[in-house]
Amino acid sequence: MTARKLQIFYSRRGCIMRREHPLRIIRYSTKNLWLLIFPILRGAYHFTSQEDIIEWFQGAWFDILVLLVIFGYGYLDWYFRKFTITEQCLFVQEGFFYTRKRCMPIRNISAMTIEHPFWLRPVGGAYVYADTAAGRMDSTDIKLMIRIRDETIFLSEFPRIRRGETHHYAHRVGFGRMLLFSVLFSSSFSGAVYMSVFWFQGGKIARDLINQFHVAEYLSNISSGVADKLQGIPPVAVTVGILILFLWLISFVKNIFRYGNFRMESDTHLLKVRSGLLTSRRFLIVNQKINFVDIQQNLLTKFSRIYTLAVNCPGYGNEKGSIPICMPILTKRELATTLPMIFPDIRITKNQLRAPYSAWWGYTYKQLILFVAMIPAVKFACQLLPQVEDVISFFGTMIELPILWKLVIQIVGLITTGVSITDGRICVRYCKGMAFHTIITNTDCLVKVEVQQHIWQRWFGTCHVTLYFQAEITKKCKLLTLNYQDVQELFAEFIPKEP
């Protein structure tokens, strides 16, 4: 159906074409409009008399005209951008010089998100995101800033939870568990990412704030005071420790505000997730569009037998640093009972193929080499620069700790990594970075199997296997040092027999 026919179709059915929230005019005017506030405020700060104001207006008429043109263009862009939704389609029309019409069939939508930012609530605004399996990972197929009163038309046309069904499941996560989740999944690296965004995007403003509040001076005084009480630890080491703790705290607070008040409800057709303290988000996820289930753990939760249940679905968890969680914290017993309720066809199976313990070198050689090499490197640096021996020794220890942590992860990965295929379902266990993953999905979602063999692996009959799963960004799972003959038998459908 062409765009013109769509427009006639909707008009005949009496569908009301709605416009976005008027606040969207600012976004359409210019993304960097806020930058104009600073020169205006700086100029207004120096106004001392009425003559100065008149003189400023006489010289700034051209700037004011340009500003009116910018806002006028934004208003026209907002006025001619309209949308409507029916049982069949989400329809968006935009443009006044060049008109573009987009139609997204409801049956193809994989996830819809309704977001209520705290700064939009006073003006009655909200965001709606609609995604399909087509499109880029870092962008949304359709994004609208709507009035809150228009939210009901999206909820009425999108599939709803059927609470009378056998597989209906609902759960609300308590604050204690969300606190535990935020503690376990917060990291200094995530906090550093947010600080870098603040630093580089804020530019001079961020540096001026740091200088104005004497942050560097306070940090130096605190570090010196703590170093005096903790004999043998240099002040620079205390400073680094405070910064790491501060960055972790930023990530922790961010997780609390994002995943707090977490609620999940599901049936055989739809998965609904609500979360957020200041900014409330509601995710509507179509079960049939979910690519795979991802059970995640880190080293602490691995030993504690605590699991995080996540899903991979286009449109859910696309933001950087966010985890597409379905259930944040589950014990082993809760996982066994909850997983069949949410996903009736999903089962965790034992490994049919795993790496032998004799393959320990392939899992740990990088960490062992780095750990051993750091010892003479630190000693050499201390002899070369004896005046800062304490600082070098401290940082050497700080570098060795994550290497040792990763070594333990690799050893656990050797024990747990494996794969099984049963009744058209594939279950893959592997470790990546600092996390352990268990991927469960249909074999139809396995799009490619890549087998790698080094020269020495041919002698021992082993290989590395990389599995690629269907997703917006193809999911890659690498399994190390598996028996080559067993791999050929298990993945006979994907690996042709050698002549």
pLDDT at 3 over 50: no
Domain ranges (residues) in the chain: 191-256, 357-414
Interval 422-481: pLDDT, tens: 988 999 999 998 899 999 999 999 999 999 998 888 888 899 999 999 888 878 999 999
Interval 141-177: pLDDT, tens: 889 999 999 998 888 888 776 665 666 788 888 888 8
Between 30-34, 124-128, 406-410, 469-473, the lowest mean confidence (pLDDT) is in 30-34
What's the pLDDT at 192? 46
Question: Higher model confidence: residue 407 or residue 166?
Answer: 407
For the chain, what is the HEC assignment? CCHHHHHHHHHHCCCCCEECCCCHHHHHHCCCHHHHHHHHHHHHHCCCCHHHHHHHHHHCHHHHHHHHHHHHHHHHHHHCCEEEECCCEEEEEECCCCCEEEEEEHHHEEEEEEEECCCCHHHCEEEEEEEECCCCCCCCCEEEEEEHHHHHHHHHHCCCCCCCCCCCEEEECCHHHHHHHHHHCCCHHHHHHHHHHHHHHHCHHHHHHHHHCCHHHHHHHHHHHHHHHCCCCCHHHHHHHHHHHHHHHHHHHHHHHHHCCCEEEECCCEEEEEECCCCEEEEEEEHHHCCEEEEEEEHHHHHHCEEEEEEEECCECCCCCCCCEEEEEEEHHHHHHHHHHHCCCCCCCCCCEECCHHHHHHHHHHHHHHHHHHHHHHHHHHHHCHHHHHHHHHHHHHHHHHHHHHHHHHHHHHHHCEEEEECCEEEEEEEECCEEEEEEEEHHHEEEEEEECCHHHHHHCEEEEEEEECCCCCEEEEEEEEEHHHHHHHCCCCCCCCC
High-pLDDT (> 90) share of the chain, %: 35
pLDDT at 403 over 60: yes
pLDDT at 327 over 60: yes
Average pLDDT value over all residues in the chain: 80
The structure's pTM equals 0.81
pLDDT at 315 over 90: no
pLDDT at 254 over 80: yes
